[in-house]
A and B are shown apart, each in its own frame.
Chain A
Amino acid sequence: MKQTSSCDVIVVGAGHAGCEAAASAARTGAATLLVTQRLDTIGEMSCNPAIGGLAKGQLVREIDALDGLMGRVIDRAGIQFRILNRSKGPAVQGPRAQADRKLYRLAMRDALDETGNLGLLEGSVEDLVVRAGRVAGVVLADGRTIACGAVVITTGTFLRGLIHMGEKTWPAGRIGDAPSLGLSGALERIGLPLGRLKTGTPARLDGRTIDWKSLDSQAGDDPPVPFSFLTQRIATPQIACGITATTPATHAVIRANLHRAPMYSGQIQSTGPRYCPSIEDKVVRFADRDRHQIFLEPEGLDDHTVYPNGISTSLPEEVQRAMIATIPGLERCAVIRPGYAIEYDFVDPRSLSRSLETRAMGGLFLAGQINGTTGYEEAGAQGLLAGLNAARSCAGSAPLILDRADAYMGVMVDDLVSLGTSEPYRMFTSRAEYRLLLRSDNADSRLTPKGEAMGCIRSERSDRFRKKSAAIARTRAVLDSLRASPNVLRGHGLGVNQDGVARSAWDLLAYPDLTLARLAEVWPELAGIEPDVAERLEIEGKYAGYLQRQEADIRAYRREEGLALPADLDYGLIGSLSNEVRQKLAAARPETLAAAARIPGITPAAVTALLGHVKRQGGIV
């Protein structure tokens, strides 16, 4: 083997996980090399050109709070920003933005170029170098070897990727890209359990052939709300998208050709995401519906490609064309590229520890779709953690472990490593027990200090964060100090109980619809508070009662979380556990009692047995 060079951390694949991983490893101080098949597809959005959404938006804010790239990049590339769930409370709202795909790629490339300690290399990694049970480098397709202290693999849908379009199949990582074939074998040899998943994408349309005038349109928020805590305002021009829907004629075309859909012909066996069904799935499963909504999303400002959101499909090409022609506004539409489904290998994430390092091999980290997730945000969040922890592992420092009360990132990692997944895993707000706390507005307060302790926050963000925190604390103190009697408040038109008890301005924020702007009419000193400070305090004021209750819950959870289960725990020794329970535990190897308790089929009694056993062994850390 020819040894050509060396570095601390090597990241394989420059998708959304890989870019974050490389940047966070480099920020944390590791000499980092990002190896990817093609430099011109760095930051490519394989599917829908949009970032954020419900729960995903929170993930992006968390990435940003740890000084990651995704928030800053989408702020430079977003062409329509919208807060979803506006009619519901702030904890379940999610920022979302459509991206100009090219701008996104370029902005991501810029962000990587601006990162010190980071090199880029075009090439395909085919194997790993292992020395003394620890990963020691990678082998490229041309036989070159690069030595390193840790490897992060973020190869997305590329591992033994197989595209399906009607009856046709061919190996590919995504359309137009070669699959990655060697690496799967390398992972298998290490003993990592692989599975198959599938996902799909719709056809792309030529926007110049769409009859926009006949369609409704949807504009973004004005002004657009940025993702990054560092972005002051959005400078990219904003566009609207079109809205149309399938018709009974569309459904008839699909039904007549179902036998040619790979999912129905039996050609694809693996599981796709239930929450992101193909149009053929929707037509079969919701047979009584005669229309499904479609958003027509332009893929860029100077790009006439349009992404029809809602009709992902893997039907044969000619059927796709026939189907699209039945949709209002698309009657004469030209198809640029047909939709397809892709099957790929993923690694059972239960083989990872919470730092995203594989348990089987020290120094080897996995992040992104390879871990069974789907989505750019899920990938980016894992990438950030894996890159950071890879750098820490090279330096011999402890990893950053986030728990379920810290961040959506913690929820996701905990779900993955203790429960595994049987379909592509996507984040939802309902996965988070402490969702009133895990909001997008306070991601910085939750995570930036942790990032600082890990050494991955640059000074610009630290300074900004410190100032904002101080302003919040100051304003909070003012809110506590301002008090008024019910009588006085009534004089200002604020109807509170006339019980003679004075209320503080902070108490009043808990009342529905009372904003700081409204309170400034009572106390003029409350005028002119910075919007981000005001937003935070209004939300915390509104949720105060619930947050307090949740704190008690969190304490209890953290106590259970503190009960570490030894990595070598022999479940066979716990006599009373049923075989089924024992197998589930052995497969998941939960790191803590709290994680064990969440595994489906693990009864309370089994949890208690586990607790009892570990306590008796004196294994409680």
Chain B
Amino acid sequence: MTATIYALASAAGRAGVAVWRLSGDGAGPALAALTGRPLPAPRRAMRVRLADPSGDVIDDGLALWFPAPQSFTGEDVAELHLHGGRAVAQALAEALGRLGLRPAEPGEFTRRAFLNGKMDLTRAEAIADLVDAETAAQRRQALRQMDGGLARLADSWRERVVGLLAWLEAEIDFADEDIPAGLMDQVAGAAAALAGELAGHLADNRRGERLRDGIHIAILGAPNAGKSSLLNRLAGRDAAIVSAQAGTTRDVIEVHLDLGGWPVVLADTAGLRDAACDVEAEGVRRALARAEAADLKLAVLDGATLDLATLAVIDDATLVVANKADIGACPDRVAGRPVLAVSARTGQGIDAMVRALEDRVAARFAVTSAPMLTRVRHRAAVEECREALARFDPRAGAELAAEDLRLAARAIGRITGRIEVDDILDVIFREFCIGK
């Protein structure tokens, strides 16, 4: 018997309204027991008063009833719209527990929906992403995927591979029949073309994943250049300690920002110099490592002071700013690149800097019309498919060439969830959050 599960579907904490969701065979009986009334008409809100099994009133609210299979999970689902707040939540949880329900595990609702065939894997992932979306770009991407864009693209790739495979198999199994000459060359050409297309999708700067996980921007510069001050200014709060002492910041400090709709992880780092002690040396090492991993870098100069360590990190993915424009002169160009004069203290030039960052981000991560690979798992599958297609060599023998196409088809099939073993599900669903 499937356990019936429940969870808070709206954000936790104090709120005007809290939405609870119940799913499983026990959802109907539980709803009836709590309301002391027959089930409401399917998909119609009904005003109810909830009481626990011993008759104590829990709350007043709305109840909705979604009988299987026309529900989010494909099972019987009940939804309760109650008042927010700890006391109500506790009372409800206790009552549901006494009625034999248990709290949902992370991702369990979506997992059930997927298991019940309500959605393919990419759509299931998109729902999790949508729920987690913090910025407009993230939301757009998740919606697109939920709409099936990625699934359609993957399916079309798969169909093409399977089509080629069929040609090849004809050549093998009907060798004594009249198969058109030159078939192998055509298949080889088409396989190479598809491999090229896949490579194109793979060379997307990991846009989809970046958009999902956040674009990493690292702030780098000499000690006391005002890096932490800039971070605080962008974050709008005192996230990092600021002091006149050089070498204040030691560790990498991250803040998550919405930069004109883009999800950004902005990292403050230790000032770059020959370190005075071990702890600081470690900080510098981490700063440089972060610089290496970042999608974009913000190099901060201390006014007109040019230090070699900062100059060394500047490259095409770097925006250069000179801080403390309020108290001194700033260079116009450094290392062949324009320099923006800013002041973390007065806010001068900060808007221009934000716009410049947005432009950089947009240029690199702008969503094209093609669906994005939003997860490592998608990328791995496409990469495996591309590798198999690239290996494809008709001269190695038709049977080996066919084998490569078979592997290619299998790899791509994994994107939409042609699962071979259920343990991949466990991995995927660990990523989902409770009650969604």
* Contact of B406 with A575 in the complex, beta carbons under 8 Å: no
* Contact of A576 with B417 in the complex, beta carbons under 8 Å: no
Kindly identify which residue among A550, A574, A608 contacts B419, using a CB–CB cutoff of 8 Å.
A608
Residues of A within 8 A of B1 (CB): 616
* Contact of A436 with B112 in the complex, beta carbons under 8 Å: no
Interface of A is mostly: helix
Residues of B within 8 A of A557 (CB): 420
Chain B: minimal CB distance from A405 (Å) = 13
The answer to whether A120 has its CB under 8 Å from any CB of chain B is no
What is the chain B residue whose CB lies nearest that of A581?
A: B117
Residues of A within 8 A of B398 (CB): 88-89, 92
0/1 interface trace, chain B 96-138, chain A, CB 8 Å (1 if under): 0000000000000000101111111100000000000000000
Kindly identify which residue among B173, B396, B425 contacts A512, using a CB–CB cutoff of 8 Å.
B396
Residues of A within 8 A of B363 (CB): none
The answer to whether B422 has its CB under 8 Å from any CB of chain A is yes
Residues of B within 8 A of A435 (CB): 399
* Contact of B115 with A611 in the complex, beta carbons under 8 Å: yes
What is the chain A residue whose CB lies nearest that of B120?
A: A605
Using known A-B contacts A575-B68, A575-B69, A576-B74, determine if residue A429 contacts B403 with beta carbons closer than 8 Å. Answer: no
What is the chain B residue whose CB lies nearest that of A557?
A: B420
The answer to whether B55 has its CB under 8 Å from any CB of chain A is no
Interface of B is mostly: loop
Residues of A within 8 A of B236 (CB): none
What is the chain A residue whose CB lies nearest that of B388?
A: A549
Using known A-B contacts A576-B68, A604-B416, A605-B417, determine if residue A549 contacts B399 with beta carbons closer than 8 Å. Answer: no
* Contact of A575 with B407 in the complex, beta carbons under 8 Å: no
Chain B: minimal CB distance from A578 (Å) = 8
Task: Report the interface size for chain A: residues with CB under 8 A from the other chain.
Answer: 46
* Contact of A436 with B173 in the complex, beta carbons under 8 Å: no
The answer to whether B52 has its CB under 8 Å from any CB of chain A is no
The answer to whether A577 has its CB under 8 Å from any CB of chain B is yes
The answer to whether B397 has its CB under 8 Å from any CB of chain A is yes
The answer to whether B316 has its CB under 8 Å from any CB of chain A is no
0/1 interface trace, chain B 26-48, chain A, CB 8 Å (1 if under): 00000000000000000000000
Cα A607 to Cα B400 with chains together (Å) = 29
Cα A34 to Cα B118 with chains together (Å) = 53
Using known A-B contacts A546-B400, A616-B2, determine if residue A88 contacts B115 with beta carbons closer than 8 Å. Answer: no
Using known A-B contacts A88-B172, A89-B398, A576-B116, determine if residue A433 contacts B406 with beta carbons closer than 8 Å. Answer: yes
What is the chain A residue whose CB lies nearest that of B424?
A: A556
* Contact of A611 with B175 in the complex, beta carbons under 8 Å: no
* Contact of A605 with B117 in the complex, beta carbons under 8 Å: yes
The answer to whether A253 has its CB under 8 Å from any CB of chain B is no
Cα A88 to Cα B169 with chains together (Å) = 12
Chain A: minimal CB distance from B151 (Å) = 10
What is the chain A residue whose CB lies nearest that of B420?
A: A556
The answer to whether B75 has its CB under 8 Å from any CB of chain A is yes
| Residue of A575, A613, A616 ringed by the most chain B CB atoms within 10 A | A575
Cα A275 to Cα B403 with chains together (Å) = 23
Using known A-B contacts A560-B421, A576-B68, determine if residue A546 contacts B173 with beta carbons closer than 8 Å. Answer: no
Residues of B within 8 A of A605 (CB): 114, 116-120, 417
Residues of B within 8 A of A613 (CB): 115
What is the chain B residue whose CB lies nearest that of A611?
A: B422
Chain A: minimal CB distance from B112 (Å) = 7
Chain A: minimal CB distance from B334 (Å) = 45
* Contact of B175 with A88 in the complex, beta carbons under 8 Å: yes
Residues of B within 8 A of A89 (CB): 397-400
Chain A: minimal CB distance from B248 (Å) = 52
The answer to whether B140 has its CB under 8 Å from any CB of chain A is no
Residues of B within 8 A of A92 (CB): 172-173, 398-399
Chain B: minimal CB distance from A313 (Å) = 18
The answer to whether B56 has its CB under 8 Å from any CB of chain A is no
* Contact of A608 with B115 in the complex, beta carbons under 8 Å: yes
The answer to whether A217 has its CB under 8 Å from any CB of chain B is no
Cα A546 to Cα B118 with chains together (Å) = 36
Cα A433 to Cα B176 with chains together (Å) = 22
CB contacts under 8 Å to B, within A597-616, are 597, 603-609, 611-613, 615-616
What is the chain A residue whose CB lies nearest that of B115?
A: A612
What is the chain B residue whose CB lies nearest that of A54?
A: B173
The answer to whether A269 has its CB under 8 Å from any CB of chain B is no
* Contact of A560 with B420 in the complex, beta carbons under 8 Å: yes
* Contact of A546 with B425 in the complex, beta carbons under 8 Å: no
Cα A615 to Cα B1 with chains together (Å) = 10
CB contacts under 8 Å to B, within A304-358, are none
The answer to whether A391 has its CB under 8 Å from any CB of chain B is no
Kindly identify which residue among B116, B172, B403, B419 contacts A575, using a CB–CB cutoff of 8 Å.
B116
Kindly identify which residue among A54, A55, A604 contacts B120, using a CB–CB cutoff of 8 Å.
A604
Using known A-B contacts A55-B173, A549-B407, determine if residue A604 contacts B417 with beta carbons closer than 8 Å. Answer: yes
Chain A: minimal CB distance from B288 (Å) = 34
Residues of B within 8 A of A560 (CB): 420-421
The answer to whether A428 has its CB under 8 Å from any CB of chain B is yes
Cα A557 to Cα B1 with chains together (Å) = 27
Residues of B within 8 A of A484 (CB): none
* Contact of A608 with B74 in the complex, beta carbons under 8 Å: no
Residues of B within 8 A of A578 (CB): 117
The answer to whether B256 has its CB under 8 Å from any CB of chain A is no
The answer to whether B345 has its CB under 8 Å from any CB of chain A is no
Cα A428 to Cα B177 with chains together (Å) = 14
The answer to whether A559 has its CB under 8 Å from any CB of chain B is yes
The answer to whether A459 has its CB under 8 Å from any CB of chain B is no
Cα A555 to Cα B400 with chains together (Å) = 20
CB contacts under 8 Å to B, within A63-122, are 84-85, 88-89, 91-92
| Residue of A92, A543, A578 ringed by the most chain B CB atoms within 10 A | A92
Cα A350 to Cα B159 with chains together (Å) = 28
* Contact of A608 with B425 in the complex, beta carbons under 8 Å: yes
Chain B: minimal CB distance from A585 (Å) = 12
Chain A: minimal CB distance from B199 (Å) = 21
The answer to whether A430 has its CB under 8 Å from any CB of chain B is yes
Kindly identify which residue among A85, A430, A612 contacts B116, using a CB–CB cutoff of 8 Å.
A612
Residues of B within 8 A of A581 (CB): 117
CB contacts under 8 Å to B, within A491-525, are 512
* Contact of A604 with B397 in the complex, beta carbons under 8 Å: no
CB contacts under 8 Å to B, within A405-449, are 428-430, 433, 435-436
Cα A428 to Cα B407 with chains together (Å) = 19
Chain B: minimal CB distance from A581 (Å) = 8
* Contact of A436 with B417 in the complex, beta carbons under 8 Å: no
* Contact of A576 with B421 in the complex, beta carbons under 8 Å: no
What is the chain B residue whose CB lies nearest that of A309?
A: B176
Residues of A within 8 A of B397 (CB): 88-89
* Contact of A577 with B117 in the complex, beta carbons under 8 Å: yes
What is the chain B residue whose CB lies nearest that of A427?
A: B173
Kindly identify which residue among B169, B174, B399, B422 contacts A91, using a CB–CB cutoff of 8 Å.
B399
Cα A430 to Cα B398 with chains together (Å) = 12
Residues of A within 8 A of B2 (CB): 616
Residues of A within 8 A of B175 (CB): 54, 84-85, 88
Cα A611 to Cα B425 with chains together (Å) = 11
0/1 interface trace, chain B 382-415, chain A, CB 8 Å (1 if under): 0000000000000011111011001100100100
0/1 interface trace, chain B 1-18, chain A, CB 8 Å (1 if under): 110000000000000000
Cα A438 to Cα B178 with chains together (Å) = 26
In addition to A89-B399, A293-B178, 6 A-B residue pairs with Cβ atoms within 8 Å of each other are A88-B399, A92-B398, A433-B406, A604-B413, A605-B114, A608-B114
Between-chain CB contacts (< 8 Å), 30 pairs: A84-B176, A85-B175, A88-B172, A89-B397, A289-B178, A293-B178, A429-B173, A429-B399, A430-B172, A430-B173, A436-B399, A436-B403, A556-B420, A556-B421, A557-B420, A559-B420, A575-B74, A575-B116, A576-B69, A578-B117, A581-B117, A604-B121, A604-B417, A604-B419, A605-B120, A606-B117, A608-B417, A608-B422, A608-B425, A609-B116
Interface of B toward A, CB cutoff 8 Å: 1-2, 68-69, 74-75, 112, 114-121, 169, 172-176, 178, 396-400, 402-403, 406-407, 410, 413, 416-422, 425
Question: Which 7 residue pairs across A and B have the least CB separation, nearest first?
Answer: A612-B115, A576-B116, A576-B74, A605-B117, A430-B169, A89-B397, A556-B420
